[in-house]
Chains A and B, each alone.
Chain A
Amino acid sequence: MPEQAEKITVALSSIPNTGKTTLFNRLTGAGQNTGNWPGVSVEKKIGNFPLGEYEISLVDLPGAYALSPVTEEEKIVRSYFLKTPPAVILNIVDAGNLYRSLGMTLQMSTSGLPMVVAVNMIDEKSKLDIALLSSHLGVPVIPISARSGRGLPELKQALYEVINKSERTHVPHISCPPILEKAARELSGKIIPGGPLEKMDSNFLAMRLLEEKTPSDAILKTGLGNFIQLWRDRIEKSTGETIPITCAKCRFNAARGLVIEVTGQKSNPPNKQTERIDRVLLHRWFGLPLFLLIMFLLFQAVYGLGAPLQTYVGQGFDVAESWLRLQSSIARQSDWMQSFLFDGLWQGLGVVISFFPIIALFFIFMSLIEASGYMARAAFLMDNLMHRLDLDGKAFINLLLGYGCNVPAIMGTRILSSHHSRVVTILLIPFTICTARLQVFVFLSTILFSTAVAPLILFALYLGSFIVIVLTGFLLKILHIGGRPEPFIMEIPPYRMPTLTNVALRTWQELKDFLYRAAPLIIAGVVLVWFLTHFPANVPAAGAETWAGRLGHLFSPLFHPLGIHWQETVALLFGLIAKEIVVGAMAVIYGGDLSNQVFQHISPLQGLSFMVFTLFYTPCVATIAAIKAESGSWKITLFSLILGLVIAWLASLVLYQTGLVLGFR
């Protein structure tokens, strides 16, 4: 029977911070698929659940305040409604703050599409006249608690009934200035909605065209461009403001009246508990030290716990490898086949698996911070510093966590509030010193420098990383990479207890995502490096005769001015797999006792130049894969790759040549 079930698309839509994710998780459980909306770094989630004889496909739309978009997320929501209208809209509103929620609810309810409104009673005490709200909106309204699951059977029942009887009986009318109403009336008479838009109210479509002519008209193909523009000009001249603002005023006038009727109150009592917590956490003097303490604990929790786990996983992998090598079916294979299996595929798999512990820990703690409401506070505290780079304050957390590992830090950018912030942060994270890079620096600086100088070298590298992040941030700002920043008006939600289900599902999703979206690219990258360093056949691996060695020689005119020999160029190539193996690769390439070899072949200045290059060029294939998966764009991925190489080359060049001029060697 499940195969024959009719598939019904329901769109879950609301403004941010209403408990939408909790409801989505409640309804669909673990049966979710995530991806990106086409062309943008905004997450798309779809979950399925059975409802009577139907199979519901629930689309989790990004949080949006209105259908005339300001943000990237809202553009997605608008296009979704106009291009592929769902069979039913499921809207969730926050009972504790009805006024804020109702603007969007009213706008969606005028669409004429079948709709169900779930009132999330986050605060159990709120008293609402549900029946009155329902009759005003012209759609069923069901009180629920997304957190406890109360009211969900009734919500499903209401959904079921709306699917069976999809004609709306009443579409609310929001009164607007007469000239706007007249324009909408005239325009709606000329639109003949066809295809998927048939069920939509023509007045609603007319409003879409008036509020935001350019893309809406392209989607609706009315051919009424000039007619619409004429009315728009007349209306804006008469009201003295843009149409979306006029419409928002009308909606919120209606919402204000509705709230008073439904709750009997004019405004919400302030949240006492949140006020008390914020008096400490956002304190004028203690706020920042507390934030830094929380960040320190976060960093420790993710990497302090994650690093040993990573080691265990690595050891397990080695044990499995030695066992596999003994298996007769594998031992029978030719040498190069075995090399391909173990040094290529198996190592690639090992790189993928090694990220699991830190990604899991990262998202467990990040979801706790996000769901509790502290993330918005962190952004508030750091806003002024990050604003100088046109970033929001949350980006600070991602950059900071990049100093542990770039991969989860980049995956975590989806927490950021705007497309612009996400792209810029993704491009900046690769310039942090992750723990793998740190290993290379510690190793080389202890060999090449005295114990007194080595720590200073490390400090200088951290400083260099920081300076490059700030300078690149300004560069990206000037170049407008990632588009224009969106207006910064951030909601600061009340503190809430995170739910275990949300945290667990989130972490599970991220691991699954990493496996599906990043892992193939990582393994492909590792195999490519294996190929370059092991072929042509019958030459010593990683030697001068391999493709990698030849590449090293080929690029030597480029690397010579940096004081980097072809052997190290090959090591840098290996470094693409993971920075942890750079040192090991040098051991293979130089042969013999590595410390001695390094000491003989590389001067301190050359070593420093090599470290600077290592600091700024591409962190590893896993980072590239994460950038591709997160940005959903090859253009951004390629840009990041080139940006890293160019900055690494320039920084090393300036350092090495200045050093030579100053008489160092």
Chain B
Amino acid sequence: MKQTKEHFKQNPGVECIIQSLGADEKTAQRLAQMGVLPGVTLQILRIAPFGATVEVSVGGGQSFALRKDELTALNCRIVAMPLTCPDLHPEIAYRIRSLSGGKKFQQRMETQGIHPGLFIKITNTTMPGIVLQLIDQKKTVTLGRGEAEKIIIEVIDA
């Protein structure tokens, strides 16, 4: 169970807020002295080819590379993630936070009724495409993985 949770956190596009500096004293001190402190937002930019190493950006500015174990130790609270994240819950409603693609992509999404601020539910991820239920408009849209990757959604606090 824990593994899937970590997997979920360490996906490119995920944004999260640091909640702790971890148990390793030296690493914690290093992070603190770099200004990476609880309350700071991290964005996961990419995973290195052999896994295990992650590039994150802190507060939208500086990029760092750190290892997955260290990232896990930060106990981040996820605030946003791309639609392609595995194990998004089918019953839960999410809100679209942003579309990270170019202008053309944004226009194409707009014609399908997808735009930031929209509430959605994911109904099916087992098919090759991802089926979205647009809650307010009472319709469903099927997206390709490439499209879904560029749609960043956020968790709605209950």
Taking beta carbons and an 8 Å cutoff, which residues of A are in contact with B? Answer: 65-66, 68, 70, 96-97, 99-100, 103, 241-242, 244-245, 248-249, 252, 255, 267-270, 278, 282, 284, 287-288, 376, 379-381, 383-385, 387, 393, 486-493
Inter-chain contacts of A244 with B (CB < 8 A):
29, 32-33
User: Would you call B91 an interface residue if the criterion is a C-beta within 8 Å of the partner chain's C-beta atoms?
Assistant: no
Beyond A270-B57, A282-B46, A488-B67, whether A252 also contacts B62 by CB under 8 A is no
The interface residues of chain B lying within 8 Å CB-to-CB of A66 are: 33
Q: Are B64 and A489 in contact (CB under 8 A)?
A: yes
Binds A, one of B47-55, B115-123, B131-139: B47-55
Shortest C-beta distance, B15 to chain A (Å), equals: 13
Flag the segment in B3-11, B20-28, B76-84 that touches A: B20-28
Per-position 1/0 for B121-148, Cβ under 8 A of A: 0000000000000000000000000000
Report the minimum CB–CB distance from B53 to chain A (whole Å): 4
20 contacting pairs across A/B (C-beta < 8 A) = A65-B34, A70-B26, A70-B29, A96-B61, A100-B62, A103-B35, A242-B25, A249-B37, A252-B37, A268-B61, A284-B47, A380-B48, A383-B52, A384-B52, A387-B52, A393-B53, A487-B24, A489-B34, A489-B36, A490-B66
Q: In the complex the two chains form, what is the Cα distance from A268 to B35 in whole Å?
A: 14
Chain A: minimal CB distance from B99 (Å): 16
Are A100 and B34 closer than 8 Å at their CB atoms? yes
B63 contacts the other chain (CB 8 A): yes
Q: How far is the CA of A640 from the CA of B27 in the complex (A)?
A: 30
Interface residues in B70-102 by Cβ distance below 8 A to A read 70
A260 to B29, CA, bound (A): 25
B109 at the interface (CB under 8 A from A): no
- Chain B residues with CB under 8 Å of A489's CB are 27, 30-31, 34, 36, 64-66, 70
Q: Which of B30, B55, B59 contacts A65 (CB 8 A)?
A: B30
Chain B contact residues, CB within 8 Å of chain A:
21, 24-37, 45-53, 55, 57, 59-67, 70
User: Are B29 and A245 touching (Cβ within 8 A)?
Assistant: yes
Closest Cβ of chain A: how far from B39's Cβ, in Å?
A: 9
In the bound complex, what is the Cα–Cα distance between A249 and B59 (angstroms)?
15
A614 CB to nearest chain B CB (Å): 33
A571 to B26, CA, bound (A): 49
Cβ–Cβ < 8 Å partners of A383 in chain B: 48, 50, 52-53, 65, 67
Whether B60 and A491, one on each chain, are in contact in the complex, defined by CB atoms closer than 8 angstroms, is: no
Shortest C-beta distance, A83 to chain B (Å), equals 21
CA distance A490 to B53 in the complex (A): 11
Within the complex, what minimum Cβ distance (angstroms) separates A433 from chain B? Answer: 25
- Residue with the greatest number of chain B CB neighbours at <10 A, chosen from A249, A379, A487, A488: A487
B28 touches A381 (CB 8 A): no
- Tell me the smallest distance from the CB of B4 to a CB of chain A, in Å: 21
CB distance from A160 to the nearest CB of B (A): 32
- Asked if residues A103 and B61 are in contact (CB atoms below 8 Å), the reply is no
Chain B residues with CB under 8 Å of A387's CB are 52-53, 67
> What residues on A are CB-neighbors of B28 within 8 Å?
241-242, 245
Q: Are A252 and B65 in contact (CB under 8 A)?
A: no
Q: By the criterion CB–CB under 8 Å, are A384 and B51 in contact?
A: yes
Do residues A248 and B50 form an inter-chain contact, with CB atoms below 8 A? no
Taking a contact as CB atoms under 8 Å apart, the answer to whether A492 and B52 are in contact is: no
Q: Which residues of A contact B51 (CB under 8 A)?
A: 384
Closest to A488 in B: B67
By beta carbon, the residue of chain B nearest A98 is B61
Extra pairs beyond A97-B62, A99-B35, A492-B55 (7, CB < 8 Å): A97-B61, A282-B48, A380-B48, A381-B49, A387-B67, A488-B65, A490-B66
Contact check, B48 vs A381: say whether CB atoms are below 8 A apart. Answer: yes
Minimum distance in angstroms from B22 CB to a CB of chain A: 10
- B123 → A minimal CB distance (Å): 28
Instruction: Specify the chain A residue showing the minimal Cβ separation from B59.
Output: A267
* Chain B: CB-nearest residue to A270: B60
* Chain A residues, Cβ within 8 Å of B65: 376, 379-380, 383, 488-490, 492
Q: Assess whether B33 is in contact with A103, with CB atoms less than 8 Å apart.
A: yes
**B54 closest partner in A (C-beta):** A380
Give A384 to B36 CA distance when docked, in angstroms: 23
Among B27, B46, B49, the residue within 8 A (CB) of A288 is B49
Q: Which of A96, A242, A249, A284 contacts B46 (CB 8 A)?
A: A284
Known: A267-B59, A384-B48. A252 touches B53 (CB 8 A): no
List chain A residues, Cβ under 8 A from B46.
278, 282, 284
Residues of chain A within 8 A of B31, CB atoms compared: 489
Q: How many angstroms between the C-alpha atoms of A66 and B28 in the bound complex?
A: 13
Cβ-defined contact, B29 with A491, below 8 A: no
Cβ–Cβ contact A70 & B30, under 8 A:
yes
